[in-house]
Amino acid sequence: MLLFLRRCLALSLLLCFPSLGFADSLDGANTGWILTSTALVLFMTLPGLALFYGGLVRSKNVLSVLMQCFTIACVASILWFAVGYSIAFSEGTSLMGGLSKAFLAGVAEETLSGDIPESLFVLFQMTFAIITPALIVGGFAERMKFSAVVLFSAVWLLVVYAPVTHWVWGGGWLGEMGLLDFAGGTVVHITAGVAALVAALVLGNRNGYGEVAMPPHNMTMTITGAGMLWVGWFGFNGGSALAANGDAAMAMLVTHLSAAAGAFTWLTIEWLKYGKPSALGAVTGMVAGLGTITPASGFVGPAGAMVIGISAGVVCFFATLWIKQKLKIDDSLDVFPVHGVGGILGTFLAGIFASDALGIFSGQGLAEGVTIGGQVTVQVIGILATGVYTAVVTFILLKLLDAITGLRVSEDEETEGLDTVSHNERGYDL
């Protein structure tokens, strides 16, 4: 009788206070939020990133960039289902997950990941796996064979992205070490930025780079895509809380503040340096602010986020000039100086502004017994490990593909434009 009364009491509490439910029961509010976040993150790639990149290239290559983003979304989704999710999130070693979840074995309607359906967690993480190789497109835009883009993106997803995801979020060695990366500073932005830089170096500059003007052909398209990225990033960072709670709300707030600060800082520098602020500068600064806050978004407060956003605008602006004007590297759409440098900067600053001992600039606090110096050391290890691994594996992969299929279109094909050469279509036929 006593056991019966206890169970009745427990059931009554659950009915009156659903938040007191067991950890292995589904939470409707959290599920609803992650469903929404998943759609927002996919919205970042299709159409956000596709339009953002499409407007930045020359008109003869606009369809090629859109096509690359769409195709990567398809290929990444299929591979994530087949083995990518399992490599990233199933039990394995500290370096890589196993294949127990290959082809989503064991994932059913009732299977949970925490208090949300595991199928939803798979899909949410799939959208991250889609946008990361799509970001790399900006490093080799306007000169890489379509077949090479598809092969590179597919293999890179499995040998770089999925293992690094396991290191950080899947129970791997960086997560065990205590690396702070809330939504992808190392997993997404450093891997994509470094890979784009390596690709730009391996393929070489576009024909006429530095001699012929190559301005964006449609800034209206680019700004439209940038606006979609800003909106979608709420799902990217806010959704990474995996719950509808204060962590998600704060992550969204600091994300917005950093984006605004990054955009305004970049356009202010241009205003002072060149006499006029540009729309391209504003949206590039916005993306820098978004990418830089990403690893720190779940750990820092509003004032810290403003510092991070301003830092992103300054550091990424001068990194872009250094890459293009000093080093003469044709990272076509500034993937490394914006995403790579931003990811490095944000991952580093997360170790500082997560501290709760900084007054108004305090964050949510470091782990018990961890100092700022100790956390920053872990952050630097994560940055170096991710960057070096990505650079080495990406270089080897590109060289192998070049030997097997070739990477770059011919000079005549590049002059004609990839829309016609690769797809026998034109972006504009008015």
- Find the mean pLDDT for residues 95-118: 96
User: Is residue 16 very low, low, confident or very high in pLDDT (cuts 50, 70, 90)?
Assistant: very low
- Find the mean pLDDT for residues 393-414: 97
Two tokens at 33?
Answer: 């939020």
pLDDT value for 429? 82
- How many other CB atoms are there within 10 angstroms of residue 303's CB atom? 17
Q: How many Å apart are CA 304 and CA 292, to the nearest integer?
A: 12
**Per-residue model confidence as pLDDT tens digits over 323-379:** 999 999 999 999 999 999 999 999 999 999 999 999 999 999 999 999 999 999 999
Angle (nearest 5°) at CA 163 between 157 and 165: 90
> Who's near 347: CB < 8 A, 6+ residues apart?
180, 181, 185, 186, 190, 295, 296, 379, 382, 383
- Find the mean pLDDT for residues 167-185: 97
User: Is residue 8 very low, low, confident or very high in pLDDT (cuts 50, 70, 90)?
Assistant: very low
Q: Is the pLDDT of residue 4 over 50?
A: no
Q: How many Å apart are CA 383 and CA 340, to the nearest integer?
A: 10
- How far, CA to CA in Å, does 324 sit from each of 54, 335, 336, 346? 20, 12, 11, 22
Full-model pTM: 0.93
- Find the mean pLDDT for residues 249-254: 98
Q: How many Å apart are CA 332 and CA 296, to the nearest integer?
A: 27
